[in-house]
Structure 1
């Protein structure tokens, strides 16, 4: 007797939105004809499982994949700002150095970004997009609490953008987080 396959979880709206965005980008880049884009958009919007959604993105160049990266500074400075592609999972390490991440102009393709900190006595400053939601529940510190002022309600920020989850340990280091001003 053959066992039944495990049921797949349903596709989330964020996953569906990312697939639609990638199909539109592929069309704009000339990888899909108008008719093919329409057919694949219909397929993506009707998808109920991850396999069905993946079929809509099949053979589309540059389809988003889960990414991760590690950056850090031992005793110097590391700065990442301007236009850069933010991976889904980012590990930030700083023994004695200073790390500055500015996500305000970055390309964020994922609805949720996980930033894992490993600070010794180093420091980190993170600038998040105006509309980002910041989650600090997974963060622990030995010396000082992170300095973070949530976005003001009604300022058009803090609800519709990506969720930035910051976890890990700050050790004796200092973490400052702020929303972009524009």
Structure 2
């Protein structure tokens, strides 16, 4: 019986030759616009690079357009978002907002709610510190996201994790730390009422 030579297995493409997605192109467009706003490139050059970015098919083609620009405004390097409940409470979301790599929520007297359900986040992880204090902290994450809550101190008020471990590829992991304090901290997926609102008004 004659053995047939095995076919060579396909070799993975170098990372620079990988096909770029719409999100990849949009991230470069955002970086170019930031650079123009800071005076790093003039408007003519911005127009040229934006046109090239929208036509780019690979990561390598996109990388050339930003190789001479610093990445000062990436989400990882943004300053932490600090929310303090104060007397009247504080919230972020459920509208679209820019997610930094680090969020601090202090319940204060009025409580804090952090709602990630409508955000577009390219980070692989988001560090969230939550402190229940006199009023609680509620964190709402999309169904596709997951949370690591092993660093939470239940405090006096108690800590409640109602999230599921199911996490879709490409979505962030919320790494939650802090203390539930006197009023408690809750992390969960959207409630039935919130889901109904998301379905009825998905664009805002």
Gaps in structure 1 of 5+ consecutive residues: 1-10, 45-52
Distance 1:100 1:138 in 2: 19
Higher relative contact order (CA 8 A, sep 6+): 1
Q: Residues 36, 43 of structure 1: CA spacing in aligned structure 2 closer, same or farther, 3 A cutoff?
A: same
Distance 2:66 2:60 in 1: 9
CA RMSD, Structure 1 to Structure 2 (Å) = 3.7
Distance 2:157 2:113 in 1: 18
**Contact conserved, 2:89 with 2:108, CA < 8 A, in 1?**
no
State the match for 1:85 in structure 2: 98
Distance 2:188 2:152 in 1: 16
Q: Residues 80, 19 of structure 1: CA spacing in aligned structure 2 closer, same or farther, 3 A cutoff?
A: same
**Contact conserved, 1:22 with 1:64, CA < 8 A, in 2?**
no
- Whether 1:23 and 2:32 are equivalent positions in the alignment is no
Q: Residues 57, 123 of structure 1: CA spacing in aligned structure 2 closer, same or farther, 3 A cutoff?
A: farther
Deviation for aligned residue 1:134: 0.5
When normalised by structure 1's length, the TM-score is 0.67
When normalised by structure 2's length, the TM-score is 0.61
Deviation for aligned residue 1:40: 7.6
The number of equivalent residue pairs is: 156
Gaps in structure 2 of 5+ consecutive residues: 1-14, 34-45, 199-204
State the match for 1:5 in structure 2: none
Distance 1:87 1:130 in 2: 20
- Whether 1:176 and 2:186 are equivalent positions in the alignment is yes
Runs of 4+ off more than 4 Å: 16-21, 24-31, 53-57, 60-63
Deviation for aligned residue 1:163: 0.4
Q: Which structure features the higher share of strand residues? A: 1
Q: Which structure features the higher share of helix residues? A: 2
Q: Secondary structure at the match of 1:87?
A: coil
Q: Residues 95, 26 of structure 1: CA spacing in aligned structure 2 closer, same or farther, 3 A cutoff?
A: closer
Structure 1 residue aligned with 2:136, among 123, 133, 138? 123
Distance 1:54 1:97 in 2: 49
- Whether 1:165 and 2:175 are equivalent positions in the alignment is yes
State the match for 1:71 in structure 2: 83
**1:25-104, aligned counterparts within 5 Å?**
31-34=49-52, 38=56, 41-42=59-60, 56-59=66-69, 63-65=73-75, 66-67=77-78, 68-81=80-93, 82-104=95-117
